[in-house]
Amino acid sequence: MTGIRPAYLNALEAGTLRKRTAEAVEALSDCRLCPRQCGVDRLGDEKGFCQTGRSAMVSSFNAHFGEESPLVGTGGSGTIFFTHCNLLCNFCQNDDISHGGDGEAVTARHLAAMMLTLQKRGCHNINFVTPSHVVPQILEAIEVASENGLCVPLVFNTSAYDRVSTLKYLEGIVDIYMPDFKFWSAEVAETTCGARDYPETARGAIGEMHRQVGDLTVDPAGIAVRGLLVRHLVMPHGWAGTGDVMTHVAERISKETYVNIMPQYRPCGRAAEVEQLRRPITTEEFKTAIEVALKAGITRLDSRSRRFGSG
């Protein structure tokens, strides 16, 4: 074994977890946790862009076997899907959850119970999906769960539309960061999610994530225990800017970055409103994305990144 212990257990023993939780929860009173910086009083249950007040909302939780190879293993990744989002892409494949608000409010104890249930089912990790807008609520639940036997790595599965100041609450607590570096172009980000600052924000956020946890580390069975795993969704007409994204990751993050180049884009949500987003990607577009990643020096590609059906 690697001997790497989940970071949050050390933070629990040192009192860091409790301190960070209190600081993050207090920040909800004038919420500027994400780049939208709405400034609403979420402690008073006011709602801003993310439509989430004091309580986190969860759509579902389960053992997921469709995630990246180092997360899945034999027991699956223990995914918890949070309702709502701070980015809201117009092509979102989970439109009913992110835009539609499908889910139920949960307490810290309820969320902690989900984590413990997934661990009991044999999941290799707890995978927080779309967590950027509920960092304080997640920290509250981690504190409860870790006091009650949670001992598997934590995955922060995010769009990368995260403020560095908020990510610092998670330093020494989150074990694995899994951001999706979506777009290189500010114009594309503005068109797809009304967030012209996305590319700059994502670059800073992913840099901070790597500073905290480094390159992805796996145990002898190939299961991730710590580090950065970057996702990148290939989009039609080169809209994701794959070449620039991969060059940045290789040159400014690390050539040892584990990357999943994803071929599953399809028009969902309001994608049909944008001409360039009305079709799935082609086989050639995906092959080109793999080639430019390799050319940039990115060689730790998820095995699923190399498989793609006809398109």
81: pLDDT strictly greater than 70: yes
Q: Identify the pLDDT of residue 306.
A: 53
Q: 3-state class of 104 per DSSP?
A: strand
The amino acid sitting at 296 is A
Q: Identify the pLDDT of residue 40.
A: 98
Q: Which two tokens stand for residue 4?
A: 């790497």
Parse the chain into domains and list their residue ranges: 7-33+57-305
72: pLDDT strictly greater than 60: yes
Q: What is the DSSP string of 247-270?
A: HHIIIII-TT-EEEEE------TT
pLDDT digits (tens, 9 = 90+) for 222-239: 999 999 999 999 999 999
Task: Work out the pLDDT band at 146, boundaries 50, 70, 90.
Answer: very high
Domain boundaries 7-33+57-305, corresponding CATH code: 3.20.20.70
Can you state the angle between helices 16-27 and 135-146, rounded to 10 degrees? 150
pLDDT digits (tens, 9 = 90+) for 112-135: 999 999 999 999 999 999 999 999
303: pLDDT strictly greater than 90: no
Q: Identify the pLDDT of residue 144.
A: 98
Q: What is the DSSP string of 271-302?
A: GGGSGGGSSPPPHHHHHHHHHHHHHHT---B-
Higher pLDDT among residues 310 and 221, named by residue: 221
Q: CA nearest 69: which of 301, 253, 299?
A: 301
Q: Identify the pLDDT of residue 18.
A: 98
